[in-house]
Chain A
Amino acid sequence: MSNVPEELLYTKTHEWVRQNEDGTVTVGITDHAQDLLGDMVYVELPEPGNSLAVGDECMVVESVKAASDIYCPLSGEVVEVNIALADTPELINQDPYGEGWLFTLQPAEGGEREELMEADAYQELIESES
């Protein structure tokens, strides 16, 4: 059974979004996604300062099995990236909602948050896909 924390928001493409107190959001991939992809071996991170639109292919994670695009869950500017993933991409497998975070984003005004799902809706989605 995949872990789907209550306090996060989710995309249909298996990214999660956490609202931080300073106004930024942290982005990662879900436990379900890392489980499907298998052992991570390489991560191509976005550049801090990059402006991204919702749905942009903003980075790539590669497992032994396959390369997978990560879609930006909100429009905004990349603030920080998780450089630890360059040497230890397996953090995504070990701790997808913690140490395995991907990047933080300063969301643009307005944003598209209504497109994001609550935990229960995401749980339903992955159950319907399995």
Chain B
Amino acid sequence: MSLRTVLYEQHLSMGGRMVDFSGWKMPLHYGSQIEEHRGVRKAVGMFDVSHMMIVDLSGPRVRDFMRFLLANDVGTEPRPGRAVYSCMLNEQGGVIDDLIVYDRADDGFRMVVNAATRDKDLAWIDRHAEVWNVTVQARVDLAMIAVQGPEARKCVLQILLERVPSAATLRPFQAAWENDLFISRTGYTGEDGFEIILPEGEAVALWQTLHRIGVPPCGLGARDTLRLEAGMNLYGADMDESHTPLESGLGWTVAWEPPEREFIGRAALEAQRSIGATRELTGLVLEERGMLRNGQRVVCGEKGEGEVTSGSFSPVLGKAIALARLPSAVEGVCQVEIRGKLVRARIVKPPFVRHGQSCLQGEFNQ
């Protein structure tokens, strides 16, 4: 029996093509993944992301605990509403999960973690929280809807401004809330937008109201191509426990300062940093026709070989794009093995697309 979000019936009635995703029945698309993708780049779309797990943490020492648990730093002083993207590492520096953590000031912290990793995440957090006397609460009573695209802000404020007036002035990576209605200016698409966390009992009404004012539903398919164009990693594909953030394009999320902050995995990361990581995550754009897929072999001349970790098609660029783990410091072109043939690809620095526009330079500019 698969898990269903509170919006399951809505997906069926809107023509959602339901697939299994980490134990959940979720919509892949509602007719055309590419149209949904383009809709978010040009205007707006909404995603049911209630399968992701929301974890609330509280207690007198919760701030110190977060600074120990996560590789990024929530800071020593409260900054209510601030969102921080971070990896949660094991002792070897491997990525247990990537997550967003919200500073809720006197109410502690809220983390949003991946659906596929919820059980191991909770076990890991619980194991360490005990010593710090931190209370860990999995908020299975909450649902989550992401509204993304250049018109997302206008659409969400039209509906929710009265209930959360401070949402009008949110900057990117900030959140505001009134009781259990929580609005953050975050997302996974490379566009402006909001993620809305609310009680399950209110989710259907919000979904229907958004739909009524013209926000089309989008599935996990478009979510994946949007995040890939935006150069954002997917847990389990582009990062996992056998690779560190430095090998996963996420060195920027590790807060090395202050040096006296001890966090899980720090020693292993510092050791790797001092000798230099031998592999890194980078972007690929296929120069010829074809598709890039997870697991394809990448040949980088005498520098060695690597592997595509996330490959797909970019609807904005009209080309196959990928994230790939390659030998460090390779640049220029490489070759990807596609059905036994080697096909040229250009090595680029992600993102591929931001705010609807290509980020590629030179010959790729269209």
Binding site for B on A (CB under 8 A): 38-39, 41-42, 44, 60, 62, 64-65, 67, 86, 90, 93
Contacts of A44 in B (CB 8 A): 290, 339
Other than the given A42-B291, A64-B221, A65-B33, 15 more pairs (CB < 8 A) read A38-B28, A38-B29, A39-B34, A41-B34, A42-B290, A42-B313, A42-B320, A44-B339, A60-B339, A62-B291, A64-B34, A64-B225, A65-B28, A90-B34, A93-B32
Which listed residue, A64, A86, A93, touches B313 by the CB 8 Å rule?
A64
Contacts of A60 in B (CB 8 A): 339
Give Cα distance in the complex from A62 to B320, angstroms: 11
Contacts of A39 in B (CB 8 A): 32-34
Give Cα distance in the complex from A86 to B28, angstroms: 25
| Beta-carbon contact of B313 and A67 below 8 Å | no
| Beta-carbon contact of A86 and B289 below 8 Å | yes
- Shortest CB distance A42–B (Å): 5
Which listed residue, B17, B313, B339, touches A41 by the CB 8 Å rule?
B313
| Beta-carbon contact of B221 and A41 below 8 Å | no
Contact size range, B: 10 to 19
| Beta-carbon contact of A41 and B32 below 8 Å | no
Give Cα distance in the complex from A62 to B33, angstroms: 14
Give Cα distance in the complex from A64 to B228, angstroms: 13
**B215-272 CB contacts (< 8 Å) to partner A:** 221, 225
Task: Give 10 A-B contacts (CB < 8 Å), ordered by A residue.
Answer: A38-B28, A38-B32, A41-B291, A42-B289, A62-B291, A64-B33, A64-B312, A64-B313, A65-B221, A67-B293
Determine the residue in chain A with the shortest Cβ distance to B219.
A38
Give Cα distance in the complex from A41 to B225, angstroms: 13
Give Cα distance in the complex from A94 to B364, angstroms: 28
**B8-46 CB contacts (< 8 Å) to partner A:** 17, 28-29, 32-34
Determine the residue in chain A with the shortest Cβ distance to B36.
A39
- Shortest CB distance B163–A (Å): 37
Determine the residue in chain A with the shortest Cβ distance to B293.
A67
**B97-117 CB contacts (< 8 Å) to partner A:** none
Determine the residue in chain A with the shortest Cβ distance to B34.
A39
Q: Which of A62, A64, A65, A93 has the most CB of B within 10 A?
A: A64
| Beta-carbon contact of B293 and A38 below 8 Å | no
Give Cα distance in the complex from A90 to B318, angstroms: 12
- Shortest CB distance A63–B (Å): 9
- Shortest CB distance A130–B (Å): 12
Contacts of A67 in B (CB 8 A): 291, 293
Give Cα distance in the complex from A86 to B291, angstroms: 13
- Shortest CB distance A59–B (Å): 11
Give Cα distance in the complex from A84 to B225, angstroms: 25
Determine the residue in chain B with the shortest Cβ distance to A35.
B17
Give Cα distance in the complex from A60 to B289, angstroms: 13
- Shortest CB distance B145–A (Å): 23
Give Cα distance in the complex from A41 to B339, angstroms: 16
- Shortest CB distance B94–A (Å): 29
Give Cα distance in the complex from A60 to B34, angstroms: 20
| Beta-carbon contact of B320 and A38 below 8 Å | no
Contacts of B225 in A (CB 8 A): 64
Give Cα distance in the complex from A65 to B291, angstroms: 11
Contacts of A38 in B (CB 8 A): 17, 28-29, 32-33, 221
- Shortest CB distance A16–B (Å): 22
Contacts of B320 in A (CB 8 A): 41-42
- Shortest CB distance B216–A (Å): 16
Contacts of B17 in A (CB 8 A): 38
Give Cα distance in the complex from A47 to B313, angstroms: 25
Give Cα distance in the complex from A81 to B225, angstroms: 30
Give Cα distance in the complex from A65 to B313, angstroms: 10
Give Cα distance in the complex from A62 to B34, angstroms: 14
- Shortest CB distance A45–B (Å): 11
Interface string of B322-358 (1 = CB under 8 A from A): 0000000000000000010000000000000000000
Interface string of B157-180 (1 = CB under 8 A from A): 000000000000000000000000
